Homo-oligomer: A and B are copies of this chain.
């Protein structure tokens, strides 16, 4: 059985495991005040080309989204997001548990346009009852999106401009950021994010780590003044914080983060080319590690005896959209076998 269900099915990149082993018996102070966290923060700031950024480490994606959003919003504000955004759909109400509404807007293949956002916020302030409505207090986007798609630099700049006009933060969820940065045709790199996003996070869980997400705060740093307390209050502060530091320090040494992400992209491209050759209909034009294809239900059923993958949505009575996810850990031979089965 081969698994293409998701990008978090294996452990961590070997270099991370190696360092966990090496440092295992060292004694360090807790809660992220250790030297590995310090070192990782410096490397991330260098990679992002923003020496003045603040960097924080959390354990998982939903936890990071909730904690950051609660930190940035005032009590009466909500977070603007695509209807298909992770915070709107698959976080079991974590944002609302924190007291905030997700203001859901229509999106194209997971992407929010600056125009949509601007028109929504402008409409809000023009409404005579705006004080009775949830105020748009920040904008949330994901990159890659839940559909594997990517923003262009231009699109991010336009979103940033809208946010600056209304003086609210632009926050980017980078759970799969590596696979976005490593895509073949993107013009978005970490520096772009530092320029356009007020806050973003670099996903570790899905890109080579056992767990861990690194939040980079470029602006609105004053909101993060007591972030350690806010993390603690959210149950998001790791006692042995160095686990996070060690992993990100490794990922940001010798370009490892991008290198392993590139492997996943290579595997995804191989898969996609093979699928197209096999006559499968590509559902979404995704340049990243998630590939969405339309399969005949009969074929899907046969395939599922040998391979696991994600069910995405019904296409029509006889077809289904399924998702294959590659990752830093995907083996080329597994792609070959999958393509054989589909041929």
- CB atoms of B5 and A29 under 8 A apart: yes
Task: Report A231-261 residues with CB < 8 Å from chain B CB.
Answer: 232-240, 243
B93 lies within 8 A of A235 (CB): no
Residues of B near A329 (CB, < 8 A) are 25
One of B3, B211, B237 near A240 (C-beta < 8 A): B211
Q: Output the nearest chain B residue to A239 by Cβ-Cβ distance.
A: B8
Interface of A is mostly: loop
Chain multiplicity (copies)? 4
- B134 touching A240 by the CB < 8 A rule? no
| Min distance, Cβ A62 to any Cβ of chain B, angstroms | 5
Nearest B residue (CB) for A310: B128
With A93-B233, A97-B75 given, is the CB distance from A21 to B26 under 8 Å?
no
Flag if A75 contacts B235 (CB, 8 Å): no
In the assembled complex, the CB of A177 is this many whole angstroms from the nearest CB of chain B, namely 15
Please give, as numbers and ranges, the residues of chain B lying within 8 Å of A67 by CB-CB distance: 235
Q: Does A24 contact B (CB under 8 A)?
A: yes
Whether A237 pairs with B93 at a CB distance below 8 angstroms is: no
A interface vs B, CB < 8 Å?
Answer: 3, 5-6, 8-12, 14, 17, 20-21, 23-30, 59-64, 66-67, 70-71, 74-76, 78, 89-97, 99-102, 104, 128-129, 131-135, 205-206, 210-211, 226, 228-230, 232-240, 243, 311, 329
